[in-house]
Structure 1
Amino acid sequence: MSDPILSISDLHISFHVRGGEVQAVRGVDLEINPGESVAIVGESGSGKSVTAQSILRLIPTPPGVYKKGSISFMGEDLLSKTEKEMESIRGKEIGMIFQDPMTSLNPTLTVGRQITEVLIKHQKMSASDATGRAVELLNLVGIPNAAERVKQFPHQFSGGMRQRVMIAIALACNPRLLIADEPTTALDVTIQAQIMTLMKDLQKKTGTSIILITHDLGIVADMCDRVVVMYAGKVVETGTKQEIFKNPQHPYTRGLLRSLPRLDQNKNEPLVPIIGTPPDMSSPPPGCAFCARCDEAMRICVDNDPATYTISETQTAKCWLHDAALKGGESA
């Protein structure tokens, strides 16, 4: 197998706020291979978006602090680069699609201007060549009458069309890595399906690696090769799509799957929610962060953080249930 295009090792990120230190990311390890689609899933506040934004060094410092760890892209440490060096990577080598296109697009500039800006800066195109490429990109992402619509402003587009514009901007320079941070959150189900189909088709054409940040496991099942499950700032399980959906090994992952409606489920059978709330990240628990909400918790879980156990060549789980010495241990 080829070397990973992105490698994150023991990443810790905190935010210093008036109430103290919020430990948003606590030791994340992650690898993305060329041409691979990887989903990062978990509840709100689990650290998904902070991890994604840290790759492009978009965490404001202060209040954010990169406390520990490394982020390596194409063999280069991104955390050691200057802001000017990062500007040559953002948009060119790594593209990003944000959650809400209406707050990400500039309402005072035409969509064509916002696409050509990337091309002129990174590809050194002339204004006329960049405009022609912008029309091609709008056609590529399925916007009709692209030659006319390139002259329009974001408010003249629907939500789904604005998200397509965001995808066009992110793909303008054929980046090696595309980060999609909940790209369909504000869209209705039909448009969601169209956007995800578009991203899959574009990946096949360009070979771009994709990191998809989402809480929608239905999208994950359709879109991704591998899944990373996060909880309370840590990776608690990783595996292929098939492993995560058919043989989840962490109680949190099983809880997420139980809370999803299924077509083969009896309509009178209620969904099973995960009781409780995530921990306060300004004072995270010393042991397993999921312990207070876990039906399978043991005494050791309260004060001792579990190691990451290897389940197979492609699957890991951060849970004491996989410790050989504790199997069958007494519940907490």
Structure 2
Amino acid sequence: MNDPILRISDLHVSFHVRGGEVQAVRGVSLDVNRGETVAIVGESGSGKSVTAQSILRLIPTPPGEYKQGSIEFMGQDLLTKSEQEMEAIRGQEIGMIFQDPMTSLNPTLTVGFQISEVLIKHQNMTKAQATSRAEELLTLVGIPNAKDRVRQYPHQFSGGMRQRVMIAIALACTPSLLIADEPTTALDVTIQAQIMQLLKDLQAKTGTSIILITHDLGVVAETCDRVVVMYAGKVVETGTKEEIFRNPQHPYTRGLLRSLPRLDHSKSEPLIPIHGTPPDMSAPPKGCAFCARCDEAMRICVDNDPVNYTISETQGARCWLHDPVCKKEGASA
């Protein structure tokens, strides 16, 4: 696939707080092609959700600030759009499934109304048409007795069912791009599998591109085409699912994979955590942000931030280990 529906280039997003400037996203560049699923993975605080919310311009300004870069969706830079223009895009062209459906859904409104208002706003449907379509959408996402359930409130649904309602809202206008921000958080494993299968089935029917933000590398292995690994506000590695899992090229990616439990390892074999904590983004390090936690760090890593090195046509890694000169000298820090 070589037809980007979304292209983010050199995106910088900061938050101005009392203690100074928090550099949440620092030069992120990534593409999403039509009909593919791209996973963005990394620890909490790595900039995944801020990157996703920036696509829909959901970062409040102030305290947030889009400092630099572009977000091109279907050839149009979203950072140059007015708020009115963005309102026409949100929900209609780009849908988003938020992390916690209990806080994202309005507890005082029926789920039918919350689905219908998207259709009335963007599709110019009558109330009756929107209600009928809401019932169809609830059935589509696997909620039985849609005619009755459409009149119920969020607290009358289980966690998994509420997440399905969120998916129904996001898909109401058949968007070209769907952003799923940790859609399986706080759900049990069985429900997680059902939700991810539902997204795959809906993508097969509609051809929607999906950005999946998650901590769960098992979900990534099962559902995604390409993987973007973020650390300290930067993309440190990209590649196909097979490349990332079978041949990771950045020490951070290898650390994430080593910390996962595996069925082919013995029970007595301990998990290997990544020691230390991510850096303070109000004062990010001068060199490689992962340097202080990296077992393969070299002297150059301390003061010099690496560029992205091409590993293959589809894989790249931001690490000095791939610099030809550093490979030869390789002096440990």
Q: TM-score, normalised by structure 1?
A: 0.99
Residue of structure 2 in register with 1:325 after alignment: 325
Structure 1 contact 99–186 (Cα < 8 Å) conserved: no
Hey, what's the Cα distance between the residues in 2 that align with 1:173 and 1:30? 25
Residue of structure 2 in register with 1:301 after alignment: 301
Give the total of aligned pairs.
Answer: 332
Give every structure 1 segment of 4 or more consecutive aligned residues whose post-TM-superposition deviation is greater than 2 Å. none
Residue of structure 2 in register with 1:266 after alignment: 266
Structure 1 contact 119–130 (Cα < 8 Å) conserved: yes
Q: Report the Cα offset of residue 205 of structure 1.
A: 0.5
Hey, what's the Cα distance between the residues in 1 that align with 2:326 and 2:197? 44
Residue of structure 2 in register with 1:222 after alignment: 222
Q: Report the Cα offset of residue 2 of structure 1.
A: 4.5
Hey, what's the Cα distance between the residues in 2 that align with 1:296 and 1:321? 8
Hey, what's the Cα distance between the residues in 2 that align with 1:69 and 1:286? 21
SS at match of 1:44: coil
Residue of structure 2 in register with 1:134 after alignment: 134
CA offsets, 1:247-301, max 9 Å, x none? 0000000000000000101110000000000000000000000000000000000
CA offsets, 1:295-329, max 9 Å, x none? 00000000000010000000000000000111041
Structure 1 contact 238–317 (Cα < 8 Å) conserved: yes
Q: Report the Cα offset of residue 90 of structure 1.
A: 0.2
Residue of structure 2 in register with 1:57 after alignment: 57
CA offsets, 1:160-211, max 9 Å, x none? 0000000000000000000000011121111111100100110000100000
AA partner of residue 232 (structure 2)? A
Structure 1 contact 288–305 (Cα < 8 Å) conserved: yes
CA offsets, 1:67-116, max 9 Å, x none? 00000000001000000000000000000000000100010100000000
Of the structure 1 ranges 46-55 and 189-198, higher mean CA displacement relative to structure 2 is found in 189-198
Q: Which runs of 5+ in 1 are unaligned?
A: none
Residues 43-82 of structure 1 correspond to what in structure 2 (within 5 A)?
Answer: 43-82=43-82
CA offsets, 1:214-269, max 9 Å, x none? 01100000010000000000000000000000000000000000000001011100
Residue of structure 2 in register with 1:255 after alignment: 255
Hey, what's the Cα distance between the residues in 2 that align with 1:94 and 1:124? 18
Residues 49-128 of structure 1 correspond to what in structure 2 (within 5 A)?
Answer: 49-128=49-128
Residue of structure 2 in register with 1:13 after alignment: 13
Hey, what's the Cα distance between the residues in 2 that align with 1:77 and 1:281? 27
SS at match of 1:326: helix
Q: Report the Cα offset of residue 132 of structure 1.
A: 0.7
Hey, what's the Cα distance between the residues in 1 that align with 2:2 and 2:9? 18
Residue of structure 2 in register with 1:189 after alignment: 189
Residue of structure 1 in register with 2:278 after alignment: 278
